[in-house]
Structure 1
Amino acid sequence: MIPTYNQPEFLPEAVNSALAQTYQNLEIIIADDHSSDEACLDVMASYKNDSRVRVCRNEHNLGRVANYQKTLYDRARGDLVLNLDGDDYFVDPTFIEQAVALFQEHPELVMVSGVFDDLSPEGVLKSSESNNCDKCIYTPAEAFEALLTGRYFPFHGSTLYRRDMAVKIGFYQHDIISADLESLLRLMLTGNVASIPCEAMVRRRHGGNVSSAISVADFIDDTITFSAPLRYGTAVDPKVDREFLKSWVARYAYHKGKDNAYKILKHNKSNSGYFSYVYELLRCHPKSGLRIALQPKNILKVLRNLLP
């Protein structure tokens, strides 16, 4: 799935990198969210004669997460799905083939993740440390622990997952920045996951990214992600003990919450936003919120923000 909106300068690289994948039984869906830039129509038209590509254009703009949802539920036909945003691109042409082979070898898997790179606006490429070890298969509990240490991370653009289970558990329920991660965390409850040390794709960072302009309200809304594994619903038979999940959620809320709190102080330079964020953490995850509120680094930054 390649969702896109007004990205004519990036979309060809995304689509061409998908077409270059060595796995043959491939369906590529360009899901245009009613782009206003006419150049996007020209780019999409250039693929009309390729049987592997389906071009779908929304009648009106749905927004990022709703476009994900519509494409997964109504358009995708494959058993296995990966979402590559229209401004990102694959690197290793064998990634899908390697991931599919792992699914075939281990039918209990629900997702397979590869290595992802970050490309800065200045053109600096940095490889993630996650998923970079030898091929690993994790039980759900092992995967959650590996996520906390950074050994494993199910990044959206480098993770192939089972479509039937994603639909069953209700992927993309929340219109938040981390709608993808929130969904994948819940999917991790349902079966084993794997990582392969394959340089799968590049996440391109630029001024047009949704994640490049995160507001305080976005950070607060995104706290839904922290407790995602505890909201698995009746459709899922979780393969992880609930007491383990409670402990993990508390640790993860602190792990991510402290980073986000400091970002609000440093990048948003908002003391009021910081206190609103910490209040939300205290309400949902009291111990984690208190630990973050009492961090000397945060207290010092609050005081520095008061200076002219």
Structure 2
Amino acid sequence: MTNTYPLVSIVCLCYNHARFLPEALDSVLAQTYPNIEIIVVDDESTDESVSIIQSYLQHHPQLKFISTGQNKGNCAAFNMGWRASQGAFIIDFSTDDVLLPDRVAQQVETFQKLNAATGVVYTDAEYITDNAEHISFHSQKYKPAQSSAVFSEVIARYFICPPTMMIRREVFEKLGGYDETLAYEDFDFWVRSARNFGYHYLDIVTTKRRVHEASLSQSWYAKGNRLLASTVKVCEKIAALLQTETEREAYRQRLKYEARHAYFTANFSEAESFFGMLAEQGKVPFMYKMLRQLNSLKINLTAVRKIYYQVKH
């Protein structure tokens, strides 16, 4: 490792990505940056993924391979990968996505212009279908933060495309990696890391993010979804991190949003958790008192939400 080219570790997470795996791994191997460590972690795939990985290992012995031994989920699988890595910077890469050739070089160059307090460099992304057809660009819908201090913004809204992030190693060391009790990592990582590290937006497309056809009609708020239960846990963590009134207002906005959507999708238990956290923050608007009462009675208004989205979209 040199000062000019610090080592970058790309942790490639695979679970049943056989259809997309060759394109994903080829995009990692095609990086123009000269000092990369590639760690492929398979989370007990049941398709042909491991056979494909073994073929790549034969032709590219510089790749490192880890099998989780049993299906552990993204958070635990990634933690195995980054803890086995040596890089000064780390990329969490899902092997159904694609990296553009100059991605690593461009993000390292950006990091080297920033101070050590910057923990994450994130970028724009292109969304593609299963068949690699263009859908849209992330920046067309989500505007980046205007400041490097993003703690309030990551509480209040979604704006970072997760697979575009390059992360300074110190961030993972301080956080202890991802929280393995959660069903997904992004929101929790943003909240915990943004409390202590700055974020920088690089206004270029570095990544193609796959939007699977099978998941287009699925809702984050599908009844019983473990993702929503994880959001409850993250919101509980946020309360202990708040320091300013701006942050508390962002938190209230988040709780209102989550409570509404949980209730109108008949996730009554999770909705009650959000309503309860909102009440702990002080005066609750009348509408949310009313919604909490309806939620306690388990009055199902999912049809209202469906009509709203039909009209809106």
Instruction: Determine if contact 1:115/1:132 at 8 Å carries over to the other structure.
Output: no
After superposition, the Cα gap between the structure-2 partners of 1:227 and 1:96, relative to the gap in structure 1 and judged at 3 Å, is farther
Report whether the alignment pairs 1:15 with 2:31.
no
Q: 1:27 aligned to 18, 30, 37, which one?
A: 37
Report whether the alignment pairs 1:102 with 2:110.
yes
Instruction: Determine if contact 2:263/2:271 at 8 Å carries over to the other structure.
Output: no
Question: What do you get for the CA RMSD once the two structures are aligned?
Answer: 3.7
Which aligned pairs between 1:237-276 and structure 2 lie closer than 5 A? 242-244=242-244, 247-255=246-254, 257-264=255-262, 269-270=265-266, 273=267, 275-276=268-269
After superposing the two structures, state which structure 1 stretch, 107-116 or 204-213, moved more: 204-213
SS at match of 1:200: strand
> CA shift at 1:3, angstroms?
1.0
SS at match of 2:108: helix
Q: Return the alpha-carbon distance in structure 1 between the equivalents of residues 70 and 300 of structure 2.
A: 46
Instruction: Determine if contact 2:73/2:183 at 8 Å carries over to the other structure.
Output: no
> CA shift at 1:293, angstroms?
2.9
Q: TM-score, normalised by structure 1?
A: 0.75
1:162 aligned partner, one-letter code? R
Instruction: Determine if contact 2:152/2:246 at 8 Å carries over to the other structure.
Output: no
Instruction: Determine if contact 1:31/1:56 at 8 Å carries over to the other structure.
Output: yes
Instruction: Determine if contact 1:282/1:288 at 8 Å carries over to the other structure.
Output: no
Aligned residues: 282
After superposition, the Cα gap between the structure-2 partners of 1:306 and 1:2, relative to the gap in structure 1 and judged at 3 Å, is closer
Unpaired runs of 5+ residues, structure 2, are 1-10, 305-313
Q: Return the alpha-carbon distance in structure 1 between the equivalents of residues 275 and 260 of structure 2.
A: 16
> CA shift at 1:46, angstroms?
2.4
> CA shift at 1:222, angstroms?
1.4
> CA shift at 1:195, angstroms?
0.7
Aligned match of 1:238: none
Aligned match of 1:193: 199
Aligned match of 1:43: 52
> CA shift at 1:10, angstroms?
1.5
Q: 1:116 aligned to 94, 103, 125, which one?
A: 125
SS at match of 2:18: coil
1:172 aligned partner, one-letter code? Y
Unpaired runs of 5+ residues, structure 1, are 233-241
Q: Return the alpha-carbon distance in structure 2 between the equivalents of residues 181 and 81 of structure 1.
A: 18
Q: Return the alpha-carbon distance in structure 1 between the equivalents of residues 283 and 31 of structure 2.
A: 44
After superposition, the Cα gap between the structure-2 partners of 1:192 and 1:305, relative to the gap in structure 1 and judged at 3 Å, is closer
Q: TM-score, normalised by structure 2?
A: 0.74
Aligned match of 1:239: none
Aligned match of 2:275: 282
> CA shift at 1:192, angstroms?
2.3
After superposition, the Cα gap between the structure-2 partners of 1:60 and 1:149, relative to the gap in structure 1 and judged at 3 Å, is closer
SS at match of 1:6: coil
String of CA shifts for 1:191-228, please: whole Å, max 9, x gaps: 32211011122332323799868534531331222354
SS at match of 2:199: strand
Which aligned pairs between 1:1-308 and structure 2 lie closer than 5 A? 1-37=11-47, 39-48=48-57, 49-73=59-83, 75-90=84-99, 92-108=100-116, 109-119=118-128, 125-129=135-139, 138-140=147-149, 143-147=150-154, 153-206=159-212, 207=214, 214=222, 215-229=224-238, 242-244=242-244, 247-255=246-254, 257-264=255-262, 269-270=265-266, 273=267, 275-286=268-279, 287=281, 290-291=284-285, 293=288, 304-305=301-302
SS at match of 2:79: helix
Q: Return the alpha-carbon distance in structure 1 between the equivalents of residues 15 and 68 of structure 2.
A: 10
SS at match of 2:243: helix
Q: Return the alpha-carbon distance in structure 2 between the equivalents of residues 104 and 162 of structure 1.
A: 11
* Identity score, percent: 19
String of CA shifts for 1:237-282, please: whole Å, max 9, x gaps: xxxxx522x6425424523x4444454466xx42xx2x32221012
After superposing the two structures, state which structure 1 stretch, 168-177 or 209-218, moved more: 209-218
After superposition, the Cα gap between the structure-2 partners of 1:106 and 1:168, relative to the gap in structure 1 and judged at 3 Å, is same
After superposing the two structures, state which structure 1 stretch, 4-13 or 57-66, moved more: 57-66
After superposition, the Cα gap between the structure-2 partners of 1:306 and 1:187, relative to the gap in structure 1 and judged at 3 Å, is closer
SS at match of 2:36: coil
SS at match of 1:114: strand
> CA shift at 1:80, angstroms?
0.4
Q: Return the alpha-carbon distance in structure 2 between the equivalents of residues 121 and 212 of structure 1.
A: 20
Q: Return the alpha-carbon distance in structure 1 between the equivalents of residues 300 and 221 of structure 2.
A: 24
SS at match of 2:209: strand
SS at match of 1:27: strand
SS at match of 1:84: strand
